[in-house]
Structure 1
């Protein structure tokens, strides 16, 4: 299936192995390729890659991993250091490619990072395409269920636009970065993103990755853990993301209020009658189980409080933050992009200045300033 994207290019949908074989051969001699992924994390319990978009300078293909094709045949192209792979906001894509197909990416260029290092205030792909090409991305499909088949014409157009202009965007950004002397900065940051991997957190307490759990009391934590287990079980059986069963704010409220009867559940305003009817008994049982958890079996969380710094160290951190503010303004970058707080605190520790903690570009751009400041 082929879909016209604009007057210069078409997007072909790859749904069988012979077509993918031909595509792999076609892509093998390309110096630059643009990629993007679409997944179904908002619609299913176990997320998966549902579409892989790839573009050359003037052609775009949409590879369907849910069809009878072996996507791993693309792995040598992704791993080829002589081929530049262009992504926008690649962190999630790197994790997903490795998780689903064991694919690793070498020679990555992340156009979102590039936009940030050029001081762009709006660095999302939609903002960049609108600013530089006047192209509007249809926001209706940002949260679409890409596991559904067949694709509509509009969905194919949306997917193709994510990569059809990405090489052109890359070339613009590369030129602007060279002019500012920052191309190596972005290449190093892109290289670091290319190394991120998906890691399963199976086996650890669910409250560990629940935002705000550290502010709960011990008994509330035990109840929250049981509520999370209950929600996860229901989400798995219904094949939906857990948040579609019960939201996080609601679970936090239940862990704090700990209702013990259906009457008390009705008093929880965040709970709908439908949720009470469907999950009420399970919620109450989870709360009872949580309240009965022995103290030694309550999940332990690392303290979210920042350690109290030595007065001298604290003073050095203040000086570094003041320097960072001025340096960020000078470079036209966000302060977090120049150096995050964890790095500043590590640099402020007593002893010789640990310049080895800096990335190569940071060392080159202002390593000597930091060393002089901390002497």
Structure 2
């Protein structure tokens, strides 16, 4: 189990090890999407032949320049790269070339393309996935979480070799390379139009005025969640937004009569939700 790198001095040494290795570099990240508004990386896992596995905590390290230099040039191996590349780009970490093991498995017509599934199919190892939904923004990171995270890159180098051979056997190497390049250069996804319409349970809301209340409370929640860097559902659940849209409470007592607002976020920010509903009535 490699030590967690949390200092600039430790990162400099790790970057030297990484640069002295050979071949492609396996990379993964851990985010806290179910707990935080942002999609930032709270842990970076790396592995390269001759360098071993490295675990980097980017939060306390001011300058990732040594890591950036070590990662410039070699091919990156990621699983479901489109999920990790945006948070790596936030840290100014960009691949020169890419091999996406999930995409390769799809192109090879594997029925199941999750990392655990294809690792078991091709390499015979079963990965533990019990910490995939953990709050990686919490500190300190428990030892068993770090073990789980390290395993996500432990076999990526071998997995790439198996999948590359399978692509070659199926005559799909050039096709895969073109798809990998598309993922590498695609950039961040475009913002969804009217994302408030994806509120869970919105099918229960009828009429334009009620929908305007969904939008008003959703936008108020989104703005607050962004400021707090908390997942919107942790600030106020979707069910509460739907309750407010259907019932249109006009004061604190009416708002608190709705089950979804009795939790801390609903009560603490009651003035915000009531103000949003009041603005919706003006439309």
If the length of structure 2 is used for normalisation, what is the TM-score? 0.84
Question: Structure 1 291/179 Cα, relative in aligned 2: closer, same or farther at 3 Å?
Answer: same
CA drift at 1:285? 2.7
Picking from 196, 199, 208, the partner of 2:194 is 208
Question: Structure 1 77/187 Cα, relative in aligned 2: closer, same or farther at 3 Å?
Answer: farther
Question: Structure 1 292/207 Cα, relative in aligned 2: closer, same or farther at 3 Å?
Answer: farther
CA drift at 1:102? 2.0
The answer on whether the counterparts of 1:231 and 1:242 sit within 8 Å (CA) in structure 2 is: yes
List aligned pairs for 1:45-84, cutoff 5 A.
Answer: 45-57=37-49, 59-68=52-61, 70-80=63-73, 83-84=74-75
Q: Which residue of 2 aligns with 1:97?
A: 88
- Deviations, residues 4-39 of structure 1 (Å, cap 9, x unaligned): xxxxxxx34222223322322332252211000112
Q: Which residue of 2 aligns with 1:118?
A: 108
Picking from 202, 206, 231, the partner of 1:241 is 231
Picking from 289, 298, 306, the partner of 2:279 is 289
CA drift at 1:115? 0.7
**Separation of aligned partners in 2, 1:267 and 1:32:** 58
SS at match of 1:31: strand
The answer on whether the counterparts of 1:55 and 1:61 sit within 8 Å (CA) in structure 2 is: yes
Question: Structure 1 110/221 Cα, relative in aligned 2: closer, same or farther at 3 Å?
Answer: same
**Separation of aligned partners in 1, 2:156 and 2:140:** 25
The answer on whether the counterparts of 2:75 and 2:95 sit within 8 Å (CA) in structure 1 is: no
**Structure 2 residues without counterparts, runs of 5 or longer:** none
**Structure 1 residues without counterparts, runs of 5 or longer:** 4-10, 294-375
**RMSD of equivalent CA atoms:** 2.9
SS at match of 1:44: coil
- Deviations, residues 207-227 of structure 1 (Å, cap 9, x unaligned): 722244798754344323321
Q: Which residue of 2 aligns with 1:139?
A: 129
Q: Which residue of 2 aligns with 1:158?
A: 148
- Deviations, residues 281-331 of structure 1 (Å, cap 9, x unaligned): 4323321111113xxxxxxxxxxxxxxxxxxxxxxxxxxxxxxxxxxxxxx
Picking from 16, 38, 48, the partner of 1:25 is 16
**Separation of aligned partners in 2, 1:190 and 1:35:** 15
Aligned residue pair count? 277
Q: Kindly name which structure, 1 or 2, has the bigger radius of gyration based on alpha carbons.
A: 1
CA drift at 1:41? 2.4
Picking from 227, 244, 266, the partner of 2:217 is 227
